[in-house]
């Protein structure tokens, strides 16, 4: 990895994502003779250093060789946009322009060049264009910040910028959202602090919100107590909820004025293009109407003008807010589904499954709240909480005489985004003082797609602590065999979709036979999920499957019910002897 010797702002700083050092030197040479620019370049040859460089190094433009990605080109481009805060990406590949350029542009690349036609003029032109465009963008945002800071209110300028954003959205086929934010009880703030101090409060609020927004979004003050945010390049309601989430969280934190902590709340109205209108006046009018609807709710609240978006995005945000409270308010509980040894019919282990007892909605299923937890990042602290609870129950089970009972915990792909994952899990296990050989972490192939090398390193480190690993939903992914070869997997779980097709599909029987044969040849145990019938059980027994899990023996149950279940099975086993 080559680090830049000079990071002065008048120098063009590039991050070059290409696996070949010769290509890095070639691209640098193309820029060297250009009299208009002085450049420094950082070379990143592999994914291991990529995330760290993007988040910590200073650069203006990303030059990306399209063969450099983690398995999914479009997902990697989206990752670059988020991690680099929308720095422009110049994509290079051997394929001719045309459709290739269109696809990459749609996925977030700022420009595309074919390597076969690449020369000094075309490369320098593309890089300079992106650099100058970025400087203009930063200058515009800086001017916008000064306007808000001085209490600058100009509705004509706001409408002009919204009109330009709408034209861009129409040309690109994107959606757009307008957020209209009104600070609640601003008259009382004026009376308490005076107009000048209240303006300072609005400035500090705007500055805080600006830090939470993307570079492409615009923030303006359109009234004494009103701010507007133009959210461009909206793909779906999830994009909007992510912006609103950041705004709401920023409003939850008190502001400081004259050394005093000031708690404010605000009402947000959201209108989207093209659903709510296609002109600046129409969008603002409908966002304003939604904002007044939000005033009916106490505290910081939001409403969507479009009813369908209000249902989908608003429900997700409310569910996420409730989930935060659930983690603090002890509304979460673990259920346990037994895994039965087919040779002895003893309970070999249990899978720990999360349940949420919502105070108003009752029992919320994991299919409903786990995706919300993963999108918001809440799954990371929730995942650690699950491991803590599993360790406590592991201790209790040993004291009750259920020695050797394995506790399996699902590990979300988001867990691997936490760079202190192994350290945190080690601390939990150390504090619990449990037999680590009885703790099993279940992961899916998608959990390792974000950063495969980091995931492998984490698993190796945890494996050294004695923890075992199971590969969940085996047979449904694309890289199962390679994962078995390169990861410390001691158990695979056959996906329930294959088990439930037994007797209906000959393919399911062939697949299950192949999985069991492959796993056993690698000294790996097999658990079949979703077993519900005697015929399914008998087929799996004939194929020498090691364990089964499913409704045939037991549904997921609370801890006290699990203890009763295991006591009954032990008593039954004693009577049979």
- Say whether both 404 and 359 belong to one domain: yes
Higher-confidence residue of 542 and 361: namely: 542
Per-residue pLDDT tens for 377-425?
788 899 999 999 999 999 999 999 898 999 999 998 778 878 888 999 9
Per-residue pLDDT tens for 138-170?
555 555 544 544 445 566 778 888 888 898 888
What domain range includes position 76? Answer: 12-135
- Say whether both 26 and 104 belong to one domain: yes
- Check residue 2 and give its pLDDT: 40
Higher-confidence residue of 377 and 269: namely: 269
Per-residue pLDDT tens for 307-318?
555 556 667 777
Domain endpoint, select from 279, 303, 321: 321
User: Is 27 a domain residue?
Assistant: yes
Taking residues 237-245, report their average pLDDT: 79
This prediction has a pTM of 0.53
- Say whether both 466 and 347 belong to one domain: yes
User: Is 114 a domain residue?
Assistant: yes
Contacts of 374 (CB under 8 A, 6+ apart): 412, 413, 414
- Say whether both 284 and 427 belong to one domain: no
- Say whether both 69 and 129 belong to one domain: yes
Burial 145-167 (b: 16+ CB within 10 A, else e): eebbbeeeeeeeebbebbeebbe
- Stretch (H or E) spanning 32: helix 21-32
Token pair of 559 as six digits:
């801890």
**CATH code at 61?**
3.40.50.2300
- Say whether both 221 and 245 belong to one domain: yes
Per-residue pLDDT tens for 474-527?
766 544 555 667 778 899 999 888 999 988 888 889 989 999 998 999 899 999
User: Is 141 a domain residue?
Assistant: no
- Say whether both 82 and 162 belong to one domain: no
The rounded Cα 25 to chain-centroid distance in angstroms is 35
User: Is 144 a domain residue?
Assistant: no
Give the bridge partners for 334, in sequence order: 354
User: Is 140 a domain residue?
Assistant: no
User: Is 7 a domain residue?
Assistant: no
- Say whether both 344 and 247 belong to one domain: no
In 296-451, where does DSSP find H-type helix?
Answer: 307-309, 315-328, 366-376, 379-399, 421-432
Taking residues 521-539, report their average pLDDT: 93
Taking residues 530-536, report their average pLDDT: 94
The 10 Å Cβ neighbour count of residue 230 is 23
The count of structural domains within the chain is 3
- Say whether both 421 and 534 belong to one domain: yes
User: Is 408 a domain residue?
Assistant: yes
Taking residues 457-473, report their average pLDDT: 90
């Amino acid at each position: 990895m080559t680090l830049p010797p000079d990071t002065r702002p008048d120098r063009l700083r590039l991050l070059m994502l290409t696996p070949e050092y010769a290509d890095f030197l070639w691209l640098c040479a193309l820029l060297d003779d250009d009299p208009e620019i002085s450049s420094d370049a950082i070379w990143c040859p592999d994914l291991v250093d990529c995330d760290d460089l993007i988040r910590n190094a200073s650069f203006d433009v990303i030059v990306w060789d399209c063969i450099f990605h983690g398995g999914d080109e479009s997902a990697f481009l989206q990752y670059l946009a988020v991690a680099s805060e929308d720095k422009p990406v110049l994509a290079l590949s051997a394929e001719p322009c045309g459709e290739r350029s269109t696809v990459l542009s749609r996925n977030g690349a700022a420009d595309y060049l074919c390597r076969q036609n690449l020369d000094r003029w075309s490369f320098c032109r593309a890089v300079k264009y992106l650099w100058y465009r970025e400087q203009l963008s930063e200058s515009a945002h800086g001017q916008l910040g000064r306007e808000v800071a001085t209490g600058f209110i100009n509705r004509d300028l706001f409408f002009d910028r919204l009109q330009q954003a709408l034209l861009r959205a129409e040309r690109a086929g994107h959606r757009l959202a307008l957020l209209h934010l009104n600070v609640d009880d601003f008259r009382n703030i004026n009376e308490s602090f005076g107009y000048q101090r209240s303006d300072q409060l609005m400035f500090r609020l705007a500055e805080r919100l600006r830090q939470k927004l993307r570079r492409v979004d615009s923030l303006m003050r359109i009234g004494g107590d009103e701010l507007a945010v133009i959210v461009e390049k909206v793909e779906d309601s999830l994009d909007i909820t992510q912006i609103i989430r950041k705004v709401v969280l920023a409003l939850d934190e008190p502001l400081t004025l004259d050394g005093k902590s000031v708690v404010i709340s605000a009402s947000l109205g959201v209108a989207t293009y093209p659903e709510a209108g296609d002109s600046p006046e129409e969008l603002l009018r409908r966002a304003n109407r939604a904002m007044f609807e939000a005033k009916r709710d106490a505290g910081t609240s939001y409403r969507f003008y479009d009813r369908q978006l209000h249902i989908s995005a608003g429900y997700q945000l409310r569910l996420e807010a409730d989930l935060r409270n659930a983690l603090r308010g002890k509304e979460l509980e673990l259920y346990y589904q037994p895994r039965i040894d087919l040779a002895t019919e003893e309970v070999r282990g249990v899978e720990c499954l999360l349940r949420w007892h919502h105070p108003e909605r009752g029992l919320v299923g994991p299919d409903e709240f786990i995706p919300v937890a993963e999108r918001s990042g809440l799954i990371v602290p929730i995942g650690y909480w699950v491991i803590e609870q599993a360790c406590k129950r592991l201790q209790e089970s040993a004291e009750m005489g259920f020695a050797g009972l394995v506790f399996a915990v699902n590990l979300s792909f988001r867990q691997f985004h936490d760079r202190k994952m192994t350290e945190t899990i080690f601390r939990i296990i150390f504090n619990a003082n449990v037999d680590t050989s009885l703790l099993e972490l279940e992961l899916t192939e998608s959990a390792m797609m974000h950063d495969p090398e980091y995931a492998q390193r984490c698993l190796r480190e945890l494996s050294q602590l004695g923890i075992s690993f199971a590969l969940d939903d085996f047979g449904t992914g694309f890289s199962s065999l390679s994962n078995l070869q390169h990861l410390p997997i001691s158990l695979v779980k056959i996906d329930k979709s294959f088990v439930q097709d037994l007797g209906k599909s000959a393919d399911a029987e062939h697949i299950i036979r192949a999985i069991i044969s492959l796993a056993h040849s690698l000294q790996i145990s097999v658990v079949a999920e979703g077993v519900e019938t005697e015929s399914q059980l008998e087929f799996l027994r004939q194929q020498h499957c090691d364990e089964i899990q499913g409704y045939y023996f037991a549904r997921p149950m609370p801890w006290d019910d699990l203890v009763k279940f295991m006591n009954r099975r032990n008593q039954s086993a004693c009577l049979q002897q």
